[in-house]
Structure formats: C-alpha cells, structure tokens
Amino acid sequence: MLNARVAIDREFRISPVRRRTFGSFVEHLGRCVYTGIHDPGHPTADADGFRGDVIELTRELGVSTVRYPGGNFVSGYRWEDGIGPVADRPRRLDLAWHSTEPNTVGVDEFMRWARKAGVEPMMAVNLGTRGIQESVDLLEYCNVESGSHFSDLRRRYGSAEPYDVRMWCLGNEMDGPWQVGHKTAREYGRLAAETGRAMRLVDPNLELVACGSSSSGMPTFGAWEATVLEEAYEQVDLISAHAYYWEDDGDTASFLASSVDMDHFIESVVAAADYVRAAGKHKKRINISFDEWNVWYQTRTESEPPKDSWPVAPPLLEDRYTLTDAVVVGSLLISLLRHSDRVHAASLAQLVNVIAPIMTEPGGKSWRQTTFFPFADASRHAKGDVLRVSLSSPTYDTARFGDVPVVDAVATRDDESGETALFAVNRSVHEPVLLEIDLRDAAEARLLASTTLTADDPDLRNTAANPEAVTPRDNPKVSVSGRTVQVELPPLSWNVVRVAG
C-alpha cells in the first residue's frame, strides 16, 4: 500500500466556490436535443415535449448553467428559425455536423426547459456567418421587456416576461479552421469588441465571454488570447478555454494525468490575460470560462458525422464511459476547483447523449454514465471556499508529463455548516493509498461521510441493461483520531471525505 498525506487549514483560501463551475452544455448536435432533452413521445414527456426523467437527472447532477445552442452549430445558426409556430419553422442544413436541423426546439423552448431544470441559461451568438446586428436582435428578443420589434415578438409568441440572460458567448472556437466563418485573432477580436459594445448599449450589465483557444495544442495558443484581448479587453469579462482528453494508444498513465495539462492550460491563459492587462494598463481582470471540457474519444467512429446524407439527430459522439474515464473527470474537476480564483465558470460538454453524463434511449430508458458521479458529488458538496491544500504523494512516471503525483486533491470549507469536504483521486491502477488528512486548525475532527467510486474492472461501464455497474458506495476504511483522518483510497478511484471540526 502507498502512503500520502494532505494538510488542510481553513485560513489558506483560494476563493469562494463558484456555482457556475458546475455548468453544462446543450448543443444541437446528434441526440443531445432531439431524443435527449426533447422527446415528445416519451412516457415522461411534459406538455412541451421535454423528458421528465432527463430533467430529474439534470437536477440530481447539480447543473448550475447550461450553454446553448453551440458549439460548432452556432456558427451557422439563424436564431429566428427557432421562434414562432413550430409548423412554420424552416428546416436547415447544419454544416457543422452534416445534419438537418428541424428547428422544433429554439430559444423559447430552451428557456422553458431551463426554468424547469432549474438552470441558468448561457447563450451563444453566431459570429461565424452572422455578426453584430443579429446578436443585438437576439439580445433584444431575450432581455428587453417590451416596446420594440423583437421584444414584442417574444411576447406574441408566449413569453410576456423577458428571459434576462446574463451570460453571453461571443461566438465559438473562432480559432479553429473547422469553424464555419473561421477568423484570424485580429479579425475575431475586432468583431467581438464591436459586438460586445453594441450589446452593452442594449443591456449594460451583461457578462460577455470572448473565444479563447479551442485547445492548448493549437499552434496559435497563447498568441490568440493576447491578440483577441488586445482588441476586446474592455468589452468582455471572461475568455473561454476548451479541452478534451482521451486515452491515446493505450497510454493509461498519461490519460490519468490529464489534469496536468488542464492546470497548464489555465495558468497559461491567465498569464496571457494578465500580460494584456498590464500592457494596456487596464484595471479589471479577465477571468476564464472553461465552457467546454470532458473526456472525448475523437478518433472513434461514433465521432464521425455522416457524409452522404443529412439526417435529423443522428447518433453522434455517444461515448460510453468507463471507470477510468470517471476518475479522469474527477481529476479535471479538482483542477477547475483549485483554480477558482480565475476560473469563474465552466461547462461540461455535453449534458445528454453527446459525450455526456446522461444517456437516453429514444422513447425508452435513461441512465447515469460513470462520469455522472464525480460531477454530482462535487456540485453537491463543494460549498463555501476552496482551500489551498498541502499534498505529499508518491509519484508515477508518464510518457507525456513525466513524474505525476499518484494522489490529487482539493478541499472546500463551508463556515456556515462547519463542514470541510476533501475531493481526491487515486491514479494508481493497482495500488491502494492510505491517505492521512490533517485538519491543522481543528481541535478534533468528526467524520460525516466517506464515499468512493471504484470497481475491479477499470473498463467497466454503466448501460441501459446494467445502469448501476459503477456507482458510489460508502468507504468503510476510514478512521479518526483527534484532528487526523485516515482513509484508504482504493486503486483507480474518485473519493469524497466530509468532516466537521
């Protein structure tokens, strides 16, 4: 058995826990919308056609915000297609995913779903094939109470009250050559600045997100952020970061260390933003919206869009996640939490069916993927402030990142309840770890709960036939003595230890 130690002191606070860290993403891609959140023939569907089972699972997952309607999809989207009588809405070719978009679900339907699911909407505007005017029109439709063309149109279509959307993404992944309407950093930065300026003339209290790099592996990474912010710094509040991870050629060791790359990504974007702040003598800080992140096996056949037809809602990107994938997702959540001073929002991509924690059968069952549980645990138990922990752990060798700690961890402290929550992963595939937790500022610790997500088979998945093959369970291998807690972390596991004191 390996040994590790973590010291926790409530005085060493990074920042408040930000509820928007626990956001997700709904794109018109594959079966995320149609037969995902919307399936009128389903036994649980409500009058609007929304699946009640998916809404319940979204609430259980603890989602705070949902980014909509894309993603690559938004760069060719005409938002006006999705309002008004459904029978009158046009069918369009979606160039991003080689599909047909029926526009059955649009702005109004999504806003109704968001209210039912208890999530904050985060809207994206099309800066690929469209621009300033269309963005302002959509904002008017969503946020102006009445007395103008688009606000009165919203009222005519059934929503007397404005939607009051606060967070807006100024396009999507405009650094990517795959993006419809791809632009250089300078072109995009100017457009984002002018779009943001115009939108603030309608509603000055918006929170605007500029497109950052779509991965840290992009050749323009770093320079893109600096150039975009040189143009748009005063008009935006956050810059986006997108990252996906997968096991490559059987290199499980590096895959389990994916959060090392996420840490580097975040710290590099912060450095670029702070450089522009200093060079431009700006007062405010630009923070990060990590509004796409997940495990995504991009080379698998299910990730390839159809080439010879334009189907409606084809099965795309329907990764079926293993225990190993869940441990990686847990480690990525740890990275996001420990950077809460600068990561002010994040979106797990996506919510349903498409690289998602929730899976559905059309008209049939729904179930939780393995990755559901780390997200739900962190959303439920991360409260108060994020603490800077002192961690001592054995290391293991990886091809990509060199020596990496076997254990990674972060803690949160809720002064109101007196609860400290430790979130930890054991990256070792074979060795358990005896973790000693020292609550340095406590006279005595009291255990509230200790749970673990693990399995004997690292490739085990949850399925419609066996939806609880991998599920959290109480961890009985824990003891308390004074201010010290000892807990055995099983091999390849996600763990939550909650204590008072």
Distance CA 412, CA 337 (A): 9
Distance of CA 109 to the CA centre of its chain: 22
Burial 411-424 (b: 16+ CB within 10 A, else e): bbbbeeeebbbbbb
Burial (CB count within 10 angstroms: exposed 0-12, middle 13-18, buried 19+), residue 222:
middle
C-alpha radius of gyration, the chain, whole number:
23
Please spell the DSSP secondary structure of 70-88, one letter per residue. -SGGGGG--GGGGSS-GGG
Which amino acid is residue 257, in one-letter code? Answer: A
Distance CA 357, CA 354 (A): 9
Structure-block tokens of residue 269:
């974007």
Find the Cα–Cα–Cα–Cα dihedral 46, 47, 48, 49, rounded to 10°: 50
- Judged by phi (left if over 0) then psi (alpha if -120 to 50, else beta), residue 260 lies in alpha
Strand order from edge to edge, sheet including 419-426: 13-16, 385-387, 407-414, 419-426, 493-500, 446-453, 473-474
Instruction: Please check whether residue 243 is in contact with residue 262, taking contact to mean a CB–CB distance below 8 angstroms.
Output: yes
DSSP code of 235?
G
Distance of CA 31 to the CA centre of its chain: 18
Distance CA 221, CA 219 (A): 6
Q: Which residues are catalytic?
A: 173, 292
Which amino acid is residue 45, in one-letter code? Answer: A
Alpha helix stretches (DSSP H) within 103-184:
107-117, 132-143, 149-156
Closest CA to 452 of 327, 359, 328: 327
Please spell the DSSP secondary structure of 10-57, one letter per residue. TT-EEEEPPGGGGEEE--SSTTSTBTTTB-TTSTTB-TTSBBHHHHHH
> Euclidean distance between the first and final Cα of the chain, in Å?
28
Burial (CB count within 10 angstroms: exposed 0-12, middle 13-18, buried 19+), residue 307:
exposed
Please spell the DSSP secondary structure of 138-160, one letter per residue. HHHHHH--SSSHHHHHHHHTT--
Structure-block tokens of residue 501:
């004191």
Unique residue bearing structure tokens 């997702």 = 329
